[in-house]
Amino acid sequence: MLKAVACAIVITTVTIVAYFRGWLPVHSRGSAPAEKTSFTPPRITGNIPAATVGGFPVVTNTQSAAVKPEAKGGLGLFQLGDYEAAIPELVKDLEKNKVSSSLHAALATSFEKTGRTAEALAQWAKLADACPRAPERASALARVYMGSEGAVRVDAGMKLLRDHPESAESSSSVLAIADAADKNGRPLDGWEACSLAVNLGVGNEASLVTRCVNYADQLAFSAKDLAELGTVYVVKSGDLVVTIAKKHKVDQGVISRVNKIQNGMIRAGQRLKVLTTKASIEVSIKRVWLRLWYNGKLLARQYPVCTGNLEESPTPFGDFSVSTKLVNPEWTRAGQRAVPAEDPENPLGTRWMGFAEPGFTSYGIHGTRKPETIGKHESNGCVRMRNENVEELFDLAGAGTRISIHE
């Protein structure tokens, strides 16, 4: 009796488990049992070997993977690597959308892939002209530069540097572009490229600065007539250097310095070069140098300087402008007598270029009686220079010249 009960319990338990696990068919009350269905294995065609699971063959994905996706337009053909077929379609697409950088780039690349180099370069140039904000533009200009010769090469290189100065393409090409400019008789472009290289920190800085200074001497501070830098004035009877300077809205010092005029002596008929480029001054506290720039892009001079004691009397950071300009300045302090220029107690040296901004008029750029301090942080906050250097800067940077002081 007990054995029969135990067997019944086991059978019932197994049946319940089988029911909930789906091992048994489920019939609704009063419904007929489900019809038996036969399983027909899928037919395998062709020479594709059939894998088997549980003895039945299984279709693999081999055939569908071998079918290429349908190409849609020029970009579709390009993405499939069918460059010959893509070219005419991309040309048609560009007729409808002339400012699509992706279409220009795909067409240029297709020309490259099919050995049509000249057409590829022309297409990269079209991309650069038609799509000024395209992310591919710097690369396009670099390709035109690398693949061209002569003036076209320099034009593309300079456009790359001017429009995309921070790009990787500019950093890697800037020195070669400067050399190409020089080789093609365009030293002004070479000067600009070298100046950018200094700013980007590319190459040997000391040699690049020297190269920039040489450009300045040859192109700006010489009799060479370059419309981009200035103009030529023919002296008339009764002219004075000061009146010529006033007429051209420049300081007389720059006219005298560039034309090597001594004591204001000029003669009628004399041709004077008048620099009309905009000067600006940059000072680095950390690296203790002062740079003179023209038009914000041509490095003309770099001078070593002394700046303020970093803890007690730091030189202020910020943007300022030159106001008062004095030759052999007196040194004045609040509540004390003025110290004349020749007095050994006067620390200002031979020139003073004071800041214009309220709250900063006690600061300036000046000479020194202590040239041994140049390259250090020992001043009372002013920018201190060797006398011969500040005298040159005094002539080359007029009143109103902007000054940027940074770390």
- Amino acid (1-letter code) at residue 240: L
pLDDT digits (tens), the chain, 407 positions: 444 434 443 344 434 334 334 444 444 334 444 433 332 333 333 333 333 333 323 333 333 334 445 557 899 999 999 999 999 999 999 999 999 999 999 999 999 999 999 999 999 999 999 999 999 999 999 999 999 999 999 999 999 999 999 999 999 999 999 999 999 999 999 999 999 999 999 989 999 999 999 999 999 999 899 999 999 999 999 999 999 999 999 999 999 999 999 999 999 999 999 999 999 999 999 999 999 999 999 999 999 999 999 999 999 999 999 999 999 999 987 778 889 999 998 999 999 999 999 999 999 999 999 999 999 999 999 999 999 999 999 999 999 999 999 99
CB-based contacts of 407: which residues, under 8 Å, 6+ apart?
284, 285, 286, 317
pLDDT tens for each residue of 57-90 = 333 333 333 444 555 789 999 999 999 999 999 9
19, HSE (Cβ side, Cα atoms, 13 Å): 8
Domain-wise residue ranges, the chain: 73-208, 230-275, 279-406
Alpha carbon distances (Å) from 272 to 42, 232, 262, 277, 296: 97, 6, 13, 15, 24
CATH code that applies to domain 73-208: 1.25.40.10
How far apart CA 86 and CA 167 sit, in angstroms, is: 30
248 counts as catalytic: no
Provide the CATH topology of domain 279-406.
L,D-transpeptidase catalytic domain-like (2.40.440)
Catalytic site residue from 131, 248, 306, 366 = 366
Instruction: Return d(Cα 150, Cα 157) in angstroms, integer.
Output: 11
C-alpha dihedral sign at 125, 126, 130, 133: negative
- Active-site residue identified among 194, 212, 306, 382: 382
Please say if 7 is a catalytic residue: no
Q: Quick one: which of 133, 132, 134, 110 has its CA closest to 122? A: 110
The CATH number of 230-275 is: 3.10.350.10
Sorted by sequence, the CB contacts under 8 Å of residue 246 that are 6+ apart come out as none
